[in-house]
Amino acid sequence: MCYDIKASLEAQLNRARRRNDLQAIDEIMERLLPLTDLPIYHSSGFSHPEILIYTDRSPDFPEVATWGLIPHWVKDIEQSKKLWNNTLNARGETIFDKPSFRTSAMSNRCIIFVDGFYEHHHFDGSTYPFFIYHGSGKPLPLAGLWSEWSDPDSGGVILTFSIVTTTGNTLLSRIHNNPKLKGPRMPVILLEEEEDDWLQPMEDELDKKRIEKLIQEYPEDELKAHSVTRLRGKEYPGNVSEISEEVIYPELKEQFGD
């Protein structure tokens, strides 16, 4: 799964910087940044942070969205609040089938740039958080789905998103060993050359197969991981910069080395 992320401003500006779009960067800094929760050193999806996403309708300029997808058919704000904790992630294998995601999978896809994500390892009755990130330090472009929902009572419009997940690679299989799950999971991380493909319109079955082909494990040798401080409970330091720094747990030495 992917319920915890790190998302700096630099990571969220990655697509605009790569295109050397200085005007877009200035507008993001001036207009959008004050509307987000950035910088996010650690945030749980269950707190529903507001961050930037690049959508298929606006591939070159991001939009501010809330984590936790609200489908267009939701009737009221109470129903939306009951649902969005269950739509933080969208299983890539079923996005074209599930009522919450199929409309977005067909026509509303997006990319979320993060510095990395956190997963928990289970050992001897305790859980240990790990930070997973690209070995080069560059941001990870996560495949996502978005939805725009209109509140019938207030008339307000909310833009929300979900992170698409897939089976975990060998690295994640060592870390993400939650006994309640059938197997390890990880977010769908796109290669740079796949970003535009993910955002392309889907018009027929061939396009659908093209999208499905992108939903795969990310190469293990491109990623690194290390254990970090607790992300829950009394020991949790909050959204502070040092939270992604390595913390050694002696009891995990046999499994993960020094």
Neighbours of 87 (CB within 10 A): 24
User: Which pLDDT does position 153 carry in this prediction?
Assistant: 82
- Nearest CA among 88, 114, 89, 105 for reference residue 15: 114
* Rounded Cα distance, 169 and 148, in Å: 32
Dump pLDDT digits (tens) for 221-231: 999 999 999 99
Dump pLDDT digits (tens) for 235-246: 899 999 999 999
- C-alpha angle 88-97-208 in degrees, rounded to nearest 5: 100
Dump pLDDT digits (tens) for 55-108: 999 999 999 999 999 999 999 988 998 899 999 999 999 999 999 999 999 999
Asked whether residue 257 carries a pLDDT value surpassing 90, the answer given is: no
Q: What is the pTM of this model?
A: 0.96
Write down the domain spans for the chain. Answer: 4-252
User: Which pLDDT does position 229 carry in this prediction?
Assistant: 96
Asked whether residue 258 carries a pLDDT value surpassing 80, the answer given is: no
Give the Å distances, CA to CA, from 90 to 46, 108, 154, 188, 221: 15, 13, 28, 10, 25
Architecture of domain 4-252: Alpha-Beta Complex (3.90)
- Nearest CA among 231, 258, 256 for reference residue 242: 231
Dump pLDDT digits (tens) for 151-166: 888 888 999 999 999 9
User: Which pLDDT does position 155 carry in this prediction?
Assistant: 83
Across the chain, mean pLDDT equals 94
Residue 161: beta bridge partners? 67, 146
